[in-house]
Chain A
Amino acid sequence: MKPLLEIEKINSFYGPVQVHFDVSMSVPEKAIVCLLGGNASGKSTTMKAILGLQAPRSGRILLEGRDITGWPTPRIVRAGISTVPEARRLFGGMSVRENLLMGAYARDDRGEVAADLDRVLALFPRLGERLGQKAGTMSGGEQQMVAMARALMGRPKLICMDEPTMGLSPLFVDRVLELIATVNGTGVSVFMVEQNASMALRIADYGYVLRTGRIVLEGPAKQLLADPRIRGAYLGENVA
């Protein structure tokens, strides 16, 4: 499969502290790729680097072969990367409809936004009944749905999801997995950062394991799921 997003040997820093050491990854078209790792492994910084919120000091990030390193966030969003931020970060005081429209904020083809709204609502019919409701008054699962729909409204090629299952009850986790599969089914690639490894690997095509800023393990999801070292990586034991 052709790579959609490529991360080439990035090194990121917070002040004097290095958080990425020559990290390389790739997300193929139409695939679900997950990045696993514990606290302080550099997962969230990877997300920030892709979105242009925290530029790496060296290395490159390519979208469809184009170097997007150091681009301002609005330009990266326009180029086709949407996001489902950590803890969803909906605009709680605004209606569901306005939240969805915010997802299309950066698009240039404003004439087609209305058609996309219909398309997204067809995908998540529940939201159609709730368009006027304030997003902050919805349940956690519904909010996750709004966040996914909002990301789709940008007509992205890639959606980055930061810990989409965090803070949700086990019952909802399965629902979110379905949502992710639904989103992916529309032909959009998904790059997700997760702590919940076994859950993420169940739906992912490929996975990377990040530990203290270095990729320590990677492979097709099915292989990783069977790999005893996955457990090790999470319990902090030595990995091969």
Chain B
Amino acid sequence: MGSILSLPWFDFTVSGVVIGSIYALMAVGLALIFGVANLINFAHGAVFTVGAYVGWVCAVALGLPLWATVPLVALGGGLVGAGIEYIAIRPLNRQSRIAPLLATIGVGLILDQIVHILFGANPRALPVPMPGWRVSVGQGSIGPIDITIFVTAVIAAAALYAFLFRTRLGMAVRATAQDEDAAKQMGVNIHAVNMAVFAIAGALGAIAGLLVGIYYNAIDPNTSFQIMLKGMVAIVIGGMANVPGAIGGGVILGLIESYGIALFGASYRNLFAFAVLLLMLLVKPNGLFAKGREREAEPMTGTFVIQSMPVRPPGWLLALGVAAAALVPLAGQPYLTQVMTNAFLYALAAISLTLIAGTVGLVSIGHAALLAIGAYASALLTIAGLPVALGLVAAAAITALLGTALAYPAFRLRGHYVAIGTLAIGEIVSLVILNWTSLTNGSMGVFGIPPLTLFGVDFFSTNPSYWLVLGLVVVFALLQTRLLSSHLGRTWRAIREDTVAAETYGVGSNYYKGLAYGFAGFTAGLAGAVTAHQFSYINFDTFNLLTSVLILTIVILGGLGNVTGAIVAAVLVAGLPEMFRVLAEYRMLFYGAALLLLIRFRPRGLLGSG
């Protein structure tokens, strides 16, 4: 105990409050947008990054002092925020709840890619001259950077309060958050309110980006997603649309992280955030400051994407398509064959996601986690001596079990919480892989994964590997189509349409969701395992958020629940860009734009949802 007590607790508290005040700035923006537009803005992390780089341009490239840099960063972030509302949100006109959420994922990818194009993918130093003194308090001390960040955050929060409670538009923002229809009938221009809120959130998020840069003396273009998640955890702690709650949630999260690092070490930093998130979702989904445990009812129970009649291509056309696909290696272009192998692996993953998204209505934003579990399971088992064929099957089975167990807490979530929950599960899997060094070799990754040989037959060279993957896609597509038209498939769709109604008819929805997840986990685990043997090297980042977003894009393009659609879309989204060098280089831009345009113009997918 002596060693714990002797830790510099004061310093950990100071850094917790300082980082927490930055999280609070992020969270306030997310909470405002959630309150007014009923939407989790996944582009909010990208706005943070944009803010950091606007700050770099002002403070370093132009050499401006901090008092001039902060307002310019706020202005830049405000413009980006308003732009997001105008380009991505307004045109959607509330067609369905998940549409704007997915659109913000697309915008976030585009903004991140733009930052990469302009400033490169490597971190940059952000030296801001600070006086050298520190104030000693007991055993610890506070420095000028701590004070600058804390004071800036407090001023920003005070400005927000002045806006919300002292201005006419601020009053309209609060009224709209309470009752949008009533506000409209008072003559409030809802578009103007939305844009104002996105602009304010953008300004605050951009300032947060600058402050983090000042704190660490460096800015990094690859942190958008992580910081967005932190903001999201903070609003879950504070209670989604609760602005003061978001501030409290941010500071609490900062303290938890800081103390957690003090006790367990810095490599677990992000794990604390997600442990808190899961705990909150399970125990107090309305936030720490809410009275009841009841979640606020969200109207959608299912996928909340509009259903449509799926296009059903005739059997002969499908057979023709498979035959044509089988002939691809005969074109004698190994690169094309490799690209198509990769595309069909995505198709396998997409078949899996479309099952759970299109049937039981769990639109997962963390599907890459299932691939990662399958990949690691098969890699580790076969390195330990298991034959590859057995490794693949075992990995798929492990993914089915583990994936279902992990997703189980998300089964009872609805609407936005499904997005948050699945995202968190995905991140936790990746963090566990990173931190469980004794099993997974941590950040070094797993080397020397045996090549694909099944019962002594070579499946690792280009052509056989392609045929194997194509074969798997066809088998699982047929299997799944059979399943969907069975009694089980109808039950799944009933759960998607209305979970509560299905339960009143005696359908235990968790059991059926578990079955769907198990089947989907098996398919996805297999896709991950095959990928691992092809790559021969994997690490915690091989299957990341971009993978998840790509799979989700494919599933939406194909039409939720539509098996044929998912395969066609995988070839279009995962295959096509690789055939054109420019598209492959700006992959994130392409995926982001594809997602954005898709949501805008074909929310039901190319072939309709099933």
* A positions within 8 Å CB-CB of B: 51, 53, 72-74, 76-78, 83, 85, 89-94, 98, 101-103, 105-106, 110, 150, 154
Contact = CB atoms under 8 A, between A and B. Distances in A.
Nearest to B168: A105
Contact of A74 (B175, B181, B189): B189
Contacts, number: 64
A101 B186 CA distance: 10
23 contacts: A53-B184, A53-B185, A73-B185, A74-B188, A74-B189, A77-B185, A77-B187, A78-B187, A83-B185, A85-B182, A89-B185, A90-B182, A92-B178, A98-B171, A101-B171, A102-B175, A102-B188, A103-B186, A105-B171, A105-B175, A105-B187, A106-B188, A110-B168
A78 B185 CA distance: 11
Of listed A73, A77, A90, residue having the most chain B CB within 10 A: A73
Contacts of A94: 171, 174-175, 178
Contacts of A105: 168, 171-172, 175, 186-188
Contacts of B179: 89-92
A102 B183 CA distance: 8
Contacts of B168: 105, 110
Contact of B178 (A85, A91, A103, A106): A91
Nearest to A78: B187
Nearest to B165: A98
A72 B188 CA distance: 10
Nearest to B188: A105
A109 to B, nearest CB: 13
A105 B171 CA distance: 9
Contacts of B174: 91, 93-94, 98
Contacts of A72: 189
Contact of A154 (B175, B182, B187): B187
B182 A73 contact: no
B192 to A, nearest CB: 9
A101 to B, nearest CB: 7
Nearest to B187: A106
Nearest to B184: A73
Contacts of A92: 178-179
Contacts of B188: 74, 102, 105-106
- Chain B residues touching A, majority SS: helix
Contacts of A77: 185-187
A113 to B, nearest CB: 10
Contacts of A154: 186-187
A87 to B, nearest CB: 10
Nearest to A90: B182
Interface of B: 168, 171-172, 174-175, 178-179, 181-189
Contacts of B186: 77, 102-103, 105-106, 150, 154
Given A74-B188, A91-B182, A102-B172, 10 more contacts: A74-B189, A85-B182, A89-B181, A91-B175, A91-B179, A91-B183, A93-B178, A105-B172, A106-B186, A106-B188
Contacts of B189: 72, 74
Of listed B179, B182, B187, residue having the most chain A CB within 10 A: B187
Nearest to A76: B187
Nearest to B174: A94
Contacts of A101: 171
Contacts of B178: 91-94
A83 B179 CA distance: 14
A89 B182 contact: yes
A51 B187 CA distance: 10
A83 B174 CA distance: 19
B174 to A, nearest CB: 6
Of listed B168, B181, B186, residue having the most chain A CB within 10 A: B186
Contacts of B172: 102, 105
A61 B186 CA distance: 19
A76 B185 CA distance: 9
A101 B187 CA distance: 12
Of listed A76, A77, A89, A105, residue having the most chain B CB within 10 A: A105
A102 B168 CA distance: 9
Contacts of B181: 85, 89
A194 to B, nearest CB: 18
Contact of B171 (A76, A85, A102, A106): A102
A73 B193 CA distance: 14
A186 to B, nearest CB: 19
A73 B183 CA distance: 10
Contacts of A102: 171-172, 175, 183, 186, 188
A92 B183 CA distance: 12
A92 B182 CA distance: 11
A19 to B, nearest CB: 18
A94 B188 CA distance: 16
A173 B75 CA distance: 52
Nearest to A73: B184
A116 to B, nearest CB: 15
Of listed A53, A91, A94, A103, residue having the most chain B CB within 10 A: A91
The 7 A-B residue pairs with the shortest CB-CB distance in the complex, in nearest-first order: A106-B187, A77-B187, A89-B182, A74-B187, A91-B178, A83-B185, A91-B175
A102 B184 CA distance: 10
Given A91-B175, A94-B175, A85 B185 contact: yes
B147 to A, nearest CB: 34
A39 to B, nearest CB: 20
Contacts of B185: 51, 53, 73, 77, 83, 85, 89
Contacts of A110: 168
B547 to A, nearest CB: 39
A137 to B, nearest CB: 14
A105 B172 CA distance: 8
Nearest to B185: A83
Nearest to A135: B178
B178 to A, nearest CB: 5
A64 B187 CA distance: 19
A34 B188 CA distance: 27
B242 to A, nearest CB: 11
Contacts of A83: 185
Of listed B181, B182, B189, residue having the most chain A CB within 10 A: B182
A83 B184 CA distance: 11
B453 to A, nearest CB: 58
A73 B171 contact: no
Contacts of B182: 85, 89-91
A92 B174 CA distance: 11
Nearest to B172: A105
